[in-house]
Amino acid sequence: MKTFIPSEYQLNYPELRILLAFLLGALIGTERQLRHKMAGMRTNALVSVGSALFVVVSVRILGDQSSAARVVAQIASGIGFLGAGVIMKDSFNITGLNTAATIWCSGAIGALCGMGFWYEAVVGSIFVLLSHLLLRPLGKKVVNKYSTYETGEHRYTLKVNCAITAEDRIRDQLLAYIDKFKMRIINLTLEYDKVKKESLISIEVLSYQANNSDIIKIMQQINDDNDVSLAFWEVEVDNR
C-alpha cells in the first residue's frame, strides 16, 4: 500500500500503534470533554483504539496491509451507527452532529495508527482539533461581520390562542405554513386555559434572513380561522 512517508518511518510495533491511537483519540476527545459534550475523552479514545485493533488483527491474520482496506471500510460503516447514537433531537432542534463527526474522525485516526501511518494520523488529528478550535469562532466572526437586519439570524415566535377542540388542526396548519416558507422550527409549546377552554400554541422558528412578509401571511391566514381568538408574532434579530 502506498503511503506519503517512507516505510522505514512507519511504526513497526503493534504496541506503539495502539498506544498512539489511544493518545490521539484522547487528545481529540479532550476538546469535546471540555465543552461538556456527550462523547468525550473516553469515547474518542476507545473508538480510536478499537479501530487500530481491528486493523492490526486483520494484518496479523492475513499477513499484509492491503487486507486492511476492507476492514477500514467496515470500521467506517460501523462507526456511523455509533455516531447516530450521539445525535439528539430535542423538540425540533437537532444536536450532536459535530460530536458524531468527531467520533468518525477518531475512527479514521485509529485506522491510520493501526496501519502504522503515524505521520498521517498526527496531521489528521491536528486538523480535527483545528476544525473545532478555529472554525467555530471564525464562523461567528464571519456571520457577525456581514450580517445586517436583512441577513442576520432572525428568531420568530408565533403565538396563537384557539379553541381547545381546534388545537390539533390549527397547530398542523401552522407547521404546514412554516414548512412551506422553509423556516426551521426550534421549539413548540402548548398551554391551556381551562376556564376559557382555549389553547395557546407557541412556536419558535429560525430564519437566516428577514421573513417578516412571510410571517405576516402565515398569521393573517391563521387569524381568519373562526376558532382563533388571537394571533400575533414577535421577532429577535442577532446581527452582532
Indicate the number of domains in the chain: 2
Most confident of 27-41, 47-61, 203-217: 47-61
Is residue 39 over pLDDT 90?
no
User: Is residue 142 a part of any domain in this protein?
Assistant: no
Is residue 90 over pLDDT 80?
no
Distance CA 45, CA 53 (A): 12
Residue 91 and residue 166 share a domain: no
Distance CA 103, CA 129 (A): 12
Residue 125 and residue 30 share a domain: yes
User: Is residue 143 a part of any domain in this protein?
Assistant: no
Query: 30 with 54: CB under 8 angstroms?
Result: no
User: Is residue 140 a part of any domain in this protein?
Assistant: no
User: pLDDT-based confidence at 146, cuts 50/70/90?
Assistant: low
- State the distance between the two ends of the chain, measured CA to CA, in whole angstroms: 50
Q: What is the pLDDT of residue 17?
A: 94
Q: What is the pLDDT of residue 137?
A: 82
User: Is residue 2 a part of any domain in this protein?
Assistant: no
User: Is residue 1 a part of any domain in this protein?
Assistant: no
Q: What CATH number corresponds to the domain at position 202?
A: 3.30.70.260
Range of the domain at 205: 153-238
Q: What is the pLDDT of residue 99?
A: 86
Element at 213 (helix H, strand E)? helix 212-223
Query: 236 with 219: CB under 8 angstroms?
Result: no
Q: What is the pLDDT of residue 145?
A: 66
Average pLDDT over all residues of the chain: 83
User: Is residue 44 a part of any domain in this protein?
Assistant: yes
What is the mean pLDDT of the segment spanning 155-172?
Answer: 92
Residue 166 and residue 61 share a domain: no
